[in-house]
Chain A
Amino acid sequence: MPNPLLTPELLRRLEQFQLLAARRAKSSARGERRSRARGQSVEFADHRNYVPGDDFRYLDWNLYGRLERLFLKLYEEERELPVRIFLDASESMSFGEPRKFDFARQIAAAVGYVALCGFDRVTVAAFPDNRNETAIRGALRTVRGRKSALNFFQNLTQLTATGAANLNEALRRGALEARQAGVAVVLSDFLDPAGYDAGLTALVARGFQVNAVQILAPEELSPSTFGDLRLVDAETGGLQEVTFGRYRMAAYQQTVQNFCQRLREFCQARGIHFFSVSSNTVLEHLLLKQLRQAEVWG
């Protein structure tokens, strides 16, 4: 079955990647990630004194032969890495040519696919809430295993972008909901009048390794409509009158750059990987080059 989000070629190349987590996995479920927990694996971790009741199978007989004392061999427990994708599905994401939301879904699909291939748990948190998509969003809440990838893609495809988002609220809620911190990927245009500081700070504070991808439409970067304009905000319905001509293009672009730069500096200060892309960026370039160079995966 053809996948509308990612091409087979891209999927095949993504299979080679694995999300790189700077911290050890704290999930309670078994997986393929190293963790601080002791358990059953082939990786030796430590010895400890035998206490009655321990399993004799883990006694280190070689050590008993040298020291005539009973020690038990301990192994590292391999656990899964929770990957939480915050997908901005607000009305503002439905703009652009190509649409920002389509581009965001492709990134979400790619991140999710890499995580599924690594036996990690993927959670897609689309915001704002949409009652019409409760089932789809529920199915995307926990996805495990590579075999779930197809359903995962289909569910992503059926998501729609509508309503007004509250980025801070969505991120804060996601941080609180997560039982274990993991990798967080925030896909949004970050054009929330309330800002983004509180949400991103909450994720970092919860222990997430946060990757923020800002997606802007080409029209937002370089508007092509001039004259005396009355602009209507698609989300808030707010009005803004502006007289815009080619002579003010440079000033506008400087404003956009300033906005992006402030966001970038905010992220860097908190150890967040930050990427700002246009929705017409070549997807492969972002996934295979930029994210890899930033060691989001490798």
Chain B
Amino acid sequence: MNFLAPTSLLFGLTIPVVVVFYLLKRKRVVKLVSSTLLWQKFISETQASAPFQKLRRNWLLILQIIMLILAVLALSRPYFATHAKSSQLRVLILDASASMQATDEMPSRFEKARKDALQWVDSLRDDDKMVVLQVAGTTEVRQSETGDKSALRRAIQSCQAIDSPTRLVPALKMAESLVRDRGKDSNSEIHLFSDGAVPDLKEFENKALPLIYHKVGQGANNLGITGLDVRANPEDATQRAIYVSVMNFSTNKMETELELSLDGKVVDARHLAINGGETSAQVFLASQTSDGVFTVHLTTQDDLAADNTASIVSLLPHPVKVLLVTRGNRFLERALRSTPNVELTTAPDLGNDGSTYDFVVLDNVIPTVWPIGNILAFHVMQTNWFDKVSQVDSPAIVDWKATHPLLRYVGFDNVPIGKSFAVKPPSWGVSLLDSPQDSLMVAGELGRQRIVWVGFDSLESYWPYRFSFPIFIQNAADWLNPANAKSSQLLVRAGDAFRLGLSQPEASAQITLPDGATRKLTLETNANEIVFGDTFHQGIYRLHVGTNDTTFCVDLLDADESNIKPREELVLGSYTKVAATKLQRTNMELWRSIAAIALLVLMIEWWYYHRRTA
């Protein structure tokens, strides 16, 4: 047996009150009278001597009738359908991302959202159904479609906020499919309980989603670490440079101490004063004798604590061994040699798989044996990489992807190209340089091999004469360096899976979580990679596989998520917006209120009865 409103069982506490009423002994006034004969006759006459008597106006009777009407009303469970549309299915999406941990609502936004959501469950009619989705880095179905309120409550109670940014798109897609299945006339609704800190929802612009956005949150008092990187100091290779971006998301100037610690020991601290809406970029220089973890921490007490700490694994640099396979290209060779920490070897051909080098540069040469490591290839035809390769003459450059790490500070203004291969961007890579026909430059990861493919020979363009060329070579050396790739693997955004390649098969692995708990992973027999998805809380994770220990860090580092100012509306593309609903809980069922009024009337009746006999 289940109860639709188990909390109503608390009304049972009124039973002792009734018993107390009866326990109370009536205090009677003793009075001496001439004779009790008349009183005896009076009592016997007023007792029921006949089945019926004339109905008189009696306030007690009226009160009791009112109470009975109220009780009957309560039992009939009336409701108003004024605020809420009649609905058959409600998809309830509960935002459990990091920003929902903000404490501008007491005790937190997430708890407030949970409370609001529970009230919506209470307002469900008997024939309504609800689905509960929890969304953060991933979307979880906490409760499939049901009208069982206790199950829905349990599902909502089981949700927990995590340190992950919000990825609402999958949740909305799932909700959309659920709603669509119901048909157009179902009046189904999608209720999103969130602060609106969500990425672009452009793909839902024209979907006419029945989305109702319940805004949670009030303030935006937050300082957050939005960027963290560690590199060798360009001016002193013996030191490490830690780049930290701290942004003030409030409108007021805020002050804080920014502490830097290495493996738990504070090595530097700075006082920051950041104006509202501004970002402070800080560079720390620190000596490091072995691999370690740098942690930065903001000491300020703001509304969101999850973005006040971030960690990064810093591996000591090793010389990068590069093999340049070329028939002669002085520009390329000089550019590679000028790249710091590079040990360059040149060869006209590649006779082996190049496994002794960190990466191989193929310059207009098709090697006898293709290297198994990372590759930077200029004007090389490799049919395994692309479906179709075409040749274009004097291609015009229309766009390049300046945000990609390879093209950082790299421009292609005034770079004429003689002739080039052009390809359609493959599934494993992204196009970095676009001509009107196809892509001239592709970068990506094929298997576990990083590839940068440039369609044209550098010597058949003016690129080597531009500043952007050596910068690109240096960026490519960084990106293709396996040590850097490993470093980037060791920094995981909360909610993303951590992946680590295995050199030899292992049966199991053990992970120590930031809170000290350990988790044992059982690996498949032929697994060549460890994938660990339970990265919901930021901090330092330690993985033990075989005889190796690997440390990786999980951070939020998301400006969208740190911007905790609750959005008044959700933007779906350029033209569609969903404003935060002003609707409160519909409270369709009134019986609880009516029962409360009935109880009040009962009290009044009791009081009136005693008053008039006083």
Q: A residues touching B (Cβ–Cβ < 8 Å)? A: 91-96, 100, 189, 191-193, 217, 220, 225-236, 238-248, 251-252, 254-256, 258-259
Contact = CB atoms under 8 A, between A and B. Distances in A.
B32 A251 contact: no
Nearest to B614: A227
Given A227-B29, A229-B29, A259 B38 contact: yes
B28 interface: yes
Interface stretch (B39-47, B126-134, B523-531): B39-47
Nearest to A247: B612
Interface in B38-88: 38-43, 45-46, 58
5 contacts: A191-B38, A193-B37, A220-B33, A220-B34, A230-B30
Interface residues of B, number: 24
Interface in B321-380: none
Contacts of B34: 91-96, 100, 189, 191, 217, 220, 234-235
A46 B38 CA distance: 56
Contact of A95 (B28, B33, B46, B613): B33
A220 B38 contact: yes
A96 B26 CA distance: 28
Contacts of B40: 240
Contacts of B37: 191-193
Contacts of A235: 34-35
Given A96-B34, A232-B36, A234-B32, 5 more contacts: A227-B29, A243-B26, A246-B612, A247-B58, A258-B45
B39 A242 contact: yes
B612 A245 contact: yes
Contacts of A243: 26, 613
Contacts of A220: 33-34, 38
B35 A92 contact: yes
Given A226-B613, A226-B614, A240-B39, A233 B26 contact: no
Most chain A CB within a 10 A radius of its CB, from B29, B30, B39: B39
A231 B36 contact: yes
Contacts of A96: 34
Query: 9 nearest interchain CB pairs?
Result: A95-B34, A191-B35, A92-B34, A245-B613, A240-B36, A255-B42, A230-B28, A228-B28, A233-B36
B28 A229 contact: yes
Contact of A228 (B26, B36, B39, B41): B26
Contacts of B58: 247
A272 to B, nearest CB: 20
A96 B35 CA distance: 12
B207 interface: no
A248 B46 contact: yes
Contacts of A248: 46
A209 B54 CA distance: 42
Interface string B513-552: 0000000000000000000000000000000000000000
Contacts of A229: 28-31
Contact of B613 (A232, A236, A240, A244): A244
B291 to A, nearest CB: 89
Interface of B: 26-43, 45-46, 58, 612-614
A259 B35 CA distance: 14
Contact of B30 (A193, A232, A238, A259): A232
A251 B32 CA distance: 21
B613 A256 contact: no
A93 B35 CA distance: 10
Nearest to A244: B613
Contacts of B42: 242, 251-252, 255
Contacts of A256: 38
- Interface of chain A, helix or strand or loop or mixed? mixed
Contacts of A233: 33, 35-36
A9 B25 CA distance: 57
Most chain A CB within a 10 A radius of its CB, from B32, B37, B40, B41: B37
A228 B27 contact: yes
Given A96-B34, A189-B34, A191-B34, A231 B39 contact: yes
A210 B29 CA distance: 41
Nearest to A252: B42
A189 B28 contact: no
A241 to B, nearest CB: 6
Contacts of A255: 38, 41-42, 45-46
A245 B46 CA distance: 13
A232 to B, nearest CB: 5
Contacts of B45: 251, 254-255, 258
A168 to B, nearest CB: 14
Contacts of B33: 95, 220, 231-234
A252 to B, nearest CB: 5
A247 B46 CA distance: 12
Most chain A CB within a 10 A radius of its CB, from B35, B41, B612, B614: B35
B42 to A, nearest CB: 4
A215 to B, nearest CB: 11
Nearest to B45: A255
Contacts of A241: 28
Contacts of A242: 39, 42-43
Contacts of A240: 36, 39-40, 43
Nearest to A100: B34
A198 to B, nearest CB: 16
B16 to A, nearest CB: 24
A217 to B, nearest CB: 7
A121 to B, nearest CB: 32
A231 B26 CA distance: 15
A193 B41 CA distance: 11
B36 A238 contact: yes
A283 to B, nearest CB: 20
A130 B36 CA distance: 23
A243 B35 CA distance: 17
B613 A259 contact: no
Most chain B CB within a 10 A radius of its CB, from A100, A192, A247, A255: A255
Nearest to A193: B37
A247 B41 CA distance: 17
A229 B37 CA distance: 15
Contacts of B36: 231-233, 236, 238-240
Nearest to B44: A255
A258 B33 CA distance: 20
B35 A230 contact: no
A261 to B, nearest CB: 12
A228 B31 CA distance: 10
A163 B388 CA distance: 132
A230 B45 CA distance: 19
A28 B569 CA distance: 122
Nearest to B42: A255
A246 B614 CA distance: 9
Nearest to A251: B46
A189 B29 contact: no
Contacts of B35: 92, 189, 191, 193, 233-235
